[in-house]
Structure 1
Amino acid sequence: MRFSRGVLTIAAIVVVLAVGVSVGLYYLLRTTPHLAEAPAFCNVRTPDDAVSLNPEQAQIAATIAAVAARRKLPERAVVIAYATALQESKLRNLDWGDRDSVGVFQQRESQGWGTQKQLMDPVYATNKFFAALVKVKNYRKLPLAEAAQAVQRSAGGYAYAAHERDAKVLAAGFTGRVPQAVHCWYPPPTATPSPKPRTEEARKQLARALGSTAITSPKRGWLVAAWSVAHAEKYGLSKVRYAGAAWSNRQEATGWRTTKDDAGTGQVELS
């Protein structure tokens, strides 16, 4: 088969352009590696299963667990709260919803939950949810959807049950019952020099939800560690250490690693 000189010329131009674009992209990605990086993510992995979250979802999940710990509530209460939040907002702090519903639990000012500004605060909203939940008789033994519906009085209360498995995974990790369960990654800052981590601000915000940040048991230590990893992007944290294990903000990392340079303070160390 013969091709005209014009066709061959066009084919040659296409090949040259393709090679040029490929080479250009290669050098662009080498000189600006952040363009090839994945978006920030979080994973919660337990022996039973794994759940993927974005950083906002992870921060809200960590906050719910911290508020529950402050109120000395059982893990079942946390599971119910997670299933409710997953159904109502997908664990996001929404400033919109059905009628005047807002926030992670889609609570309504017109129903006496609080002002819209208050309900947009996940710590406040979670406290209001738990305050209502503990008034539900035998809530720990009720089917999850029934307990959640007693609080929310939703039009489709049966839907909460669909989230029970994911809620159990999240509760096991964020309450600290399963150590090293929460892992997150976010694109590191490109500014030079890198901004300093805001560790004191992180601790103050943790105290809003948890109360005392003292580590009184390994489980509480892992709760604080999980909260810190979930909030790492927000406060510029690149390392969290606790109980001989360390999390670091490395894209290729799959979780926590054992470290030999643990200071042995019994506290969660942030940097």
Structure 2
Amino acid sequence: MSEPTRLSRPARRGRAARFAAGLAVLLGLVAYVTVHYVTGSKGAPRCTIGSGSNRYEFTPEQASNAATIAAVGTSRGLPERAVTIALATALQESALRNIEHGDRDSLGLFQQRPSMGWGTPEQILDPVYSSGRFYEGLEKVPGYSRLPLTVAAQKVQRSGFPQAYAKHEPDATLLSAALTGRAPAALTCTADVKEGRPGDPARIRAELIRAFGEETAPKPVTPGAGSGAAAGGAAVTAPPVELSVPVRPTTATRDRRGWELAQWAVARAGELRIAEVSFGDHVWIADDASGDWSPARSKSTDGSTVRIRLAR
């Protein structure tokens, strides 16, 4: 009986030592995460709308696609309800990802099928085109804005699971309120643009025009005098490229249109290499770990323009 007793004690001590070592590693990891959180270190880029239980968190890719869907809808003069229906549909069909596969030959954000006349594969994989085709179908549905979302979406999509659209309506409602400008500063995003290629003014201009129309063609902002030199005449890094996007009311007020453009820019900041967006007395900065909009030190624009500063 004594021999097994002698063997069991070291085994217990070994388990205790392994437990203590594992606990030490876990505590070290918790401390590491806590320190990085408190000091403002950023994790993977993310976007958020809402708060508490009424909150939707998504990736920059999803945010970019959602912003495109919303922009195409408002540029067609459609109401917010149409944008909500489109976003809920894309959430169900692709989780707001521009996927190159699906049931049979289905593709893209709305899982449209080339064989059913939605367009070529290349066209369907263009978010602007596919969004436009969805809205074309929706506009043909009599009284779509008064129909239950599942009914309106199903009349366009002809899905085998029409009730599945309903579960996405709360998130789609949050998204559409922000991305159509009704909920100012509601979209918060983090973006890492410190390293990599600089922002391309020509690409941003092209993307704005494709999504919103020629009236949003931005103009470069002329740097202030002396901004390229420090005191004493020493040369410093060239100032960041800035663009000024005109805010011209369409079917909405100027303030709402401005927020629509500003939050579109934030949603697409990572993809388009945007470092800062400002509208009115609010500013969003990619370097801010919170991703929130903040009050500007001085009013950045008079409400007639949205300022976009590109990464360099």
Q: TM-score range by the shorter chain?
A: 0.7 to 0.9
* 1:66 paired to 2:71: yes
Partner residue in 2 for 1:203: 205
- The alignment-based identity, stated in percent, is 41
Distance 1:55 1:110, change over 3 A: same
Distance 1:168 1:220, change over 3 A: same
Hey, what's the Cα distance between the residues in 2 that align with 1:206 and 1:116? 23
Conserved 8 A contact 1:91-1:104: yes
Distance 1:195 1:254, change over 3 A: closer
Unaligned 5+ segments in structure 2 are 1-5, 34-40, 217-245, 249-253
* 1:125 paired to 2:157: no
Hey, what's the Cα distance between the residues in 1 that align with 2:282 and 2:174? 21
Report Cα offsets for 1:118-174 as digits up to 9, x if no partner. Answer: 000000000000000000011111111000000000111111111111111000000
Partner residue in 1 for 2:295: 258
CA RMSD of aligned residues (A): 3.4
Deviation at 1:203, TM superposition (A): 2.6
Hey, what's the Cα distance between the residues in 1 that align with 2:53 and 2:128? 28
Hey, what's the Cα distance between the residues in 2 that align with 1:46 and 1:263? 27
Distance 1:180 1:139, change over 3 A: same
Partner residue in 2 for 1:160: 165
Partner residue in 2 for 1:75: 80
- Which one of the candidate residues 137, 145, 151 is aligned to 1:140? 145
- Which one of the candidate residues 247, 267, 270 is aligned to 2:305? 267
Conserved 8 A contact 1:198-1:237: no
* 1:226 paired to 2:231: no
Report Cα offsets for 1:156-208 as digits up to 9, x if no partner. Answer: 1111111111111000000011110111112343x4xx753324422321210
Moved over 6 A (4+): none
Q: How does 1:1-271 map to 2 (within 5 A)?
A: 37-45=42-50, 49-189=54-194, 191=195, 195-211=197-213, 212-213=215-216, 214-216=246-248, 217-265=254-302, 266-271=304-309
Hey, what's the Cα distance between the residues in 2 that align with 1:43 and 1:203? 26
Partner residue in 2 for 1:33: none
Hey, what's the Cα distance between the residues in 1 that align with 2:113 and 2:163? 20
Hey, what's the Cα distance between the residues in 2 that align with 1:87 and 1:115? 22
Deviation at 1:48, TM superposition (A): 9.4
Deviation at 1:254, TM superposition (A): 4.8
Unaligned 5+ segments in structure 1 are 30-35
Distance 1:48 1:140, change over 3 A: farther
AA in 2 matched with 1:96: H
Conserved 8 A contact 1:79-1:164: yes
Aligned residues: 263
